Amino acid sequence: MPDDPNESPAHLSHAGAVVDKAIEYMISQNLSSLAIASALLGGSMALLSRSMSDDAIIGILTNAIGSVRSGELREHQDPS
């Protein structure tokens, strides 16, 4: 089944919950934040490359860079 860019919110929520549990597990295994994030990013990039053009992936990464530069990522963090 091809990936649907208009994926249902329920599927997106479920996928997010699975990733959150995987992160919790890796933290409990005393893996560093950098190792966890690098593995997740690498896996995400590999998954995207299966179904998207390089230009589409570059667009996603460009949007992510914009979020970092604008401070958008930090404004959603818990202060703790």
**Quick one: tokens of 67?**
């979020």
Q: Are 23 and 36 in contact (CB under 8 A)?
A: yes
pLDDT higher than 80, residue 57: yes
The domain locations on the chain are: 11-75
**Exposed/middle/buried for 2, CB within 10 Å: 0-12, 13-18, 19+?**
exposed
| Dist CA 18 CA 49 (whole Å) | 21
Instruction: Dump pLDDT digits (tens) for 2-54.
Output: 456 667 888 989 999 999 999 999 999 999 999 999 999 999 999 999 999 99
Say yes or no to pLDDT of 1 above 60: no
More confident call, 20 vs 1: 20
Distances (CA, A) of 46 to 37, 73, 80: 14, 23, 32
User: In the predicted model, is pLDDT for residue 63 greater than 90?
Assistant: yes
